[in-house]
Amino acid sequence: MGEFFYCATIFFMDSDFQYKPGTNRLFFFFAAIGLFFIVAATGYMVTRPRPTPPSNEITVTVPEGYSVRQIGKLLADSQLFSEEAFVGSALSEEGYLFPDTYRLYKDASPEEVIRKMKENFERRLTPETRTEILRQKRTLADVVIMASIIEEEAQTPKDKKIIAGILWKRIKEGIGLQADATLTYLLGKTSAELTESDLRLDSPYNTYKYRGLPKGPISNPGLNTILATVYPTPSPYYYYLSDNDGVMHYAKTFEEHKQNKYIYIKR
């Protein structure tokens, strides 16, 4: 700005400026100043930071292993729609709502969110993985159900693969899965809260009473858990339990398993 005033003053007030009849030096001088402020103001209007318009989207992260009801509560807490509206539409899709971070429109319907999560599931499951499932003579539904159990039963990738091997082996040999997670899903209790009466509950989700896989998935497993289910780690074990610190302890026989319970489980 200083340079502009300096140049304007020299140009219009210099003694060499040729005065012509009808002209006024002061007029030109102040006209130049006015022009400068107009240009400066226009430049400010163009370059000044503009306020960011409010976004019509929100970001929601669905953790691995969340059930439909848990996802419904998460979305309701994000003020998208009611938990009941989501659960009513999504309950039949349990297991196939891929846990991930999503950008969702604030006016999205439950059906739109469900479709987005299912499409993500389909993209993440590669043709190689699908081929391996067929090679093992299993169905995708069986894998998803098993993965949903393992997601709730184990925490580390290593334990997930070992437990997958144990549970597939138990099914192959006609031994009940006896997975607490299927009952906690059904009853809304923790493993520590399950009673002897709960273990006798007549339900297709009770893997203590009925052999084989439960009626359907009990959570929505992440990709690593699905892959652990498809590519399990063989082991000599038939039993496992998690102690109060989440550390897994394995056993080859029921007697060893009972001993582990006595040592590591404090109820």
pLDDT for position 55: 74
The residue type of 24 is N
| Domain 57-124, second-level architecture | 2-Layer Sandwich (3.30)
pLDDT for position 12: 43
Q: What is the pTM of this model?
A: 0.78
Domain boundaries, the chain: 2-47, 57-124, 137-235
pLDDT for position 266: 66
pLDDT along the chain (267 residues), means of 10: 47 46 50 51 50 76 97 96 95 97 95 97 96 97 98 95 98 95 91 90 94 96 98 97 91 95 80
Whether 107 contacts 88, CB under 8 Å: no
pLDDT for position 38: 53
Of 107, 42, 58, 61, nearest in space to 81 by CA = 107
